Every structure is written in structure tokens, then in C-alpha cells.
Amino acid sequence: MVVLEEIEQVRAGFLKYTREAFLKLPCLENPRILDIGCGSGVPTIELAKLSGGEVTGIDIDQSCIDEFNRKLKEENLANRVEALKLSLYEMKFPDETFDVVWSEGVVGNIGFETSLKEWRRLLKHNGYLVIHYQVNRVADVLPRLPQLGYSLADTVLLPEDAWWTEFYEPIEEKMETLLHKYRDNADALKLLEQYKNERDMVKRNSSNFICAFYIMKKV
């Protein structure tokens, strides 16, 4: 999938929630962090800056990884941040590698409960799993966190209309300009079409898109 700078700028507006969630973690010294489904690294780079640690981002999309690597060079972060083209279904990291496993916007693919089960082994003892996901998709799982080997350390609830007012609406405002600018770029037009469909979905059913960061401690 092509990466468009205008969308990246809008996405960056959400970093304030990534920051808020990260700051809920206890102070970790040079932590090892894994960001699953990192895209072009918008949250991953923020996590690297906030933590001062070693960060690995994985994503299946080569264009995202290429853009991520470009930013790492630009920001002089390539010595402690790596971008890997890898599917979340094929992670072979040894057990207990990471202090923090982070994921924004990809858990829908695998499911909340499955991600908790499969990613637990990657965490060090007392490590943290932080997932940004839809509130209505986790309600049945949260009461069973202890059975799944976690305790809920904290939650950052986004404003009810955050995805609409801070993401889809600003994109909508730019849409005509973007469609014109990228009129000869088939990949960009495909991506913009995808955003239009998502926007319609969010507009129709906004209560489904109330999201939160769930900060879960491995116990």
C-alpha cells in the first residue's frame, strides 16, 4: 500500500494518545519494545523517542517498511530501531524478548483474545502488552484477563468521536485536493477510496469506533 504524507500528518495527530498510554507504564530503563503492525512507523518512532530503548516494528507491507526505513535514517534512529517486513503470524522471536509489546490498528485481523494468547510468550516477566482497539470488541475478554495471564494495569479511553473528528473528517476536508493531486497514481487512488469507505462506516456507526488503549501486565 502506498504511503501518503498528507494521511501521515493526520495520523500523527493521534500520537498524543500513544504518548498518554506510554506514560502510564512504569519507568522502564532502555526497554525492548515490539510494535506489531507498525505501518510506516508513526507510533513506533514515537515509542523509540519516549522510551530511549530498542524498538522493533513489524509489518507485512513493503512500502510501509521502506518509508519507515527512510524516516529512521532521517531521524538518526537506525542504530536502535529496526523495521522488519514480517507477518504477525510468522513471528519467531524467542520467548521473553520484549519488555513491551505494542499494537495499534491491527488486532482486528487476529482478534483481541488470540493476540493476548499468542503474544504473551514474547513478553518478559512483568512485561506489558498495550493494544489500541475498539471498546465494544473487548468487553467479553477483559473479565477473563487473569485466566489469560494478564492484569489490566490501565486504560486510556479516546474521546468518543476521536476517529471521526481527528482522522476521517480532516481527511474528508482534504479529499478533493488529494484526489486531484494523485489523479495519475492508481495506488494512491485505491487508498483514498479505502478511506472513503471507512469514513462512511465510521459515520454510519460511530459508537462501534470508540477506542481505547488497554495496558495489560503479564502476570
Ligand X SMILES: C[S@@+](CC[C@H](N)C(=O)[O-])C[C@H]1O[C@@H](n2cnc3c(N)ncnc32)[C@H](O)[C@@H]1O
Closest-CB residue for ligand X? 39
- In whole angstroms, the minimum distance from the beta carbon of 131 to ligand X comes to 11
Q: Assess contact for 138 and 214: CB atoms under 8 A.
A: yes
Among 6, 54, 61, 166, binds ligand X (CB under 6 A): 61
CA distances from 79 to 55, 94, 97, 173, 184 (A): 10, 21, 18, 38, 37
* Torsion 157-159-161-166 (CA) sign: negative
- Binding positions for ligand X, 9-48, rule CB under 6 A: 11, 37-39, 42-43
Q: In the set 2, 60, 189, 212, which binds ligand X (CB under 6 A)? A: 60
Provide the minimum distance between the beta carbon of 215 and ligand X in the complex, in angstroms, as a whole number. Answer: 16
Identify the sign of the CA torsion 175, 179, 185, 186: positive
User: Looking at 46-54, 59-67, 112-120, 197-205, which segment touches ligand X (CB under 6 A)?
Assistant: 59-67
93 CB contacts (<8 Å, ≥6 apart)?
34, 122
In the complex, minimum distance from the CB of residue 108 to ligand X, in angstroms, rounded to a whole number: 9
Which residue has 519507568 as its cell numbers? 27
Residue 29 vs 89, nearer CB to ligand X? 89
Q: CA 72 to CA 35: how far, in whole Å? A: 15
Number of residues that bind ligand X (CB under 6 A): 18
From the CB of 100, what's the least distance to ligand X, in Å?
Answer: 14
Binding mask 99-138 for ligand X (x = CB under 6 A): -----xxx--x-----------------------------
Minimum CB–partner distance for residue 74 and ligand X (Å):
17
CB 67 → ligand X: shortest distance, Å?
10
CA–CA distances in Å: residue 162 to residues 45, 134, 158: 22, 12, 6
Exactly one of 30, 87, 165, 194 binds ligand X (CB under 6 A); that residue is: 87
Q: In degrees, to the nearest 5, what angle opens at C-alpha 117 toward C-alphas 99 and 95?
A: 45
Task: Give the residue carrying C-alpha cell 485466566.
Answer: 147
Q: Looking only at residues 154 through 183 of this chain, which bind ligand X when binding is defined by CB under 6 A?
A: none
Q: What is the C-alpha to C-alpha distance for residues 44 and 156, in angstroms, rounded to an integer? A: 18
- Residues forming the site for ligand X (CB under 6 A): 11, 37-39, 42-43, 58-61, 64, 87-89, 104-106, 109
